[in-house]
Amino acid sequence: MTRDTSRVMEIIYPEADGKPLGETDLHIDLILEGKDVLRRFFEKRSDVYVAGNNFIYYVEEDPKKRVSPDLYVVFGVSPRKRNSYKTWEEGGKGPAVVFEFTSRKTKGEDSGSKRDLYESVLRIPEYFLFDPRSEWLRPRLTGYRLINGQYIELVPQDGRLYSEQLALEIVPDGQNLRYFDPDTRSLLGTSQQIAVRVADAEQRAAREAEARAAAERRAEAAEEEIARLRAVLERRDRPESV
């Protein structure tokens, strides 16, 4: 029997599953702010892709083999925007780091099936879980590093975890997660936070410039007053002509 190759069906890789971006506004903010901060951190590099909440397909021709991390970083690929990430189209490269922000609905999956997938199938070098409300995880920031094919839990230092892949410290801050650069000894900011800091700095510089201008005007006025008084004294001391 001859196969009818003209009727080979195209394989569809869906780009959405109908689920919301995050369970709460808090979880959505963690995803969006994390993407923004890490994209800014790597913006001068042309080989880093930062994304989140889109599908990663990891087996060609099997659209059921997929996962959607909250936030992840891939090295060695273009930062161009993608609707989904297919590993076979990216030279087989998968994420170097994955973050999951746990919630009531996702806590079991994040610590169970997703952890197993990241460890044994995708072999992701680092995996971080963060529980912003301290309801499910102890400690609420938990991290794993792949060593000899198995995840080893990282030991926090002052509540922080170090990511070798990102060369950043991961820092819980209330219900937020911050990213600290040990090289510059500074916390990374979102675009909005940086814009606020820039605006504050510009306003401060404007105030300082106005204060300097005012001081210069006062100094000029004082010099003019001194010159006027000297002229008065000179006229007073000048002998009158007979």
Q: What is the chain's alpha carbon radius of gyration, rounded to the nearest angstrom?
A: 30
| C-alpha closest to that of 131 among 54, 24, 27 | 27
pLDDT tens track for 14-69: 887 767 666 788 999 999 999 999 999 999 999 999 999 999 999 999 999 999 99
Yes or no: say if 50 and 77 are a contact pair by the CB < 8 Å rule: no
pLDDT in tens, the chain (242 residues): 444 444 447 899 988 776 766 678 899 999 999 999 999 999 999 999 999 999 999 999 999 999 999 999 999 999 999 999 999 999 999 999 999 999 888 889 999 999 999 999 999 999 999 999 998 888 999 999 999 999 999 999 999 999 999 999 999 999 999 999 999 999 998 655 544 444 444 456 556 667 676 777 887 877 887 888 787 777 776 666 54
* Cβ-based burial of 211 (10 A; exposed 0-12, middle 13-18, buried ≥19): exposed
**d(C-alpha 156, C-alpha 203), whole Å:** 39
Phi, psi of 224 (to 5 degrees): -65, -40
